[in-house]
Structure 1
């Protein structure tokens, strides 16, 4: 390959790289913007799912395993009575 061909090849490749640079920066900015929303959703979704799992476990344990009423899980007197049984 002659010196002139090498120079023209380098110039063409650097010109292509110069055109690609703004596109890559724009793509990175979009990716960063999209990455922020799922993280926020994860932060909000995890505690919500934990509360749902807790309620499902309480209802299952009290009504199915304990043969009680599912509505009694939400009664404060039920939990006071259980506290007195355990610690009283």
Structure 2
């Protein structure tokens, strides 16, 4: 049994395959940051609502997170 060699000439690739490959590569590169951001949002919501017994609407309020920042980085005496 002998295997036939495939031609390595890339000049006859269809543009559809190239575009699909670029799109697939972009998806693979972007999936990790998107999943990390989604995990951050879910973690904030779970921690704030379940552990903190606060309403879900406060999770996305910027005043809440400013208050938490002030508590963490306040100069104590």
Q: TM-score, normalised by structure 2?
A: 0.66
- Structure with the greater relative contact order (CA < 8 A, sep ≥ 6): 1 or 2? 2
SS in 1 for 2:7: helix
Q: Which runs of 5+ in 1 are unaligned?
A: 1-15
Equivalent residue for 2:45?
59
How many pairs align? 67
Distance 2:58 2:27 in 1: 32
SS in 2 for 1:74: coil
As a proportion of its length, which structure holds more helix? 1
Q: Say yes or no: does 1:87 pair with 2:73.
A: yes
Q: Which runs of 5+ in 2 are unaligned?
A: none
Distance 2:49 2:7 in 1: 57
Report the RMSD for the aligned CA atoms in angstroms: 3.0
Match of 2:7 among 1, 25, 35: 25
Q: Which structure 1 residue ranges, 4+ long, deviate > 4 Å from structure 2?
A: 33-37
Q: Larger radius of gyration, structure 1 or 2?
A: 1
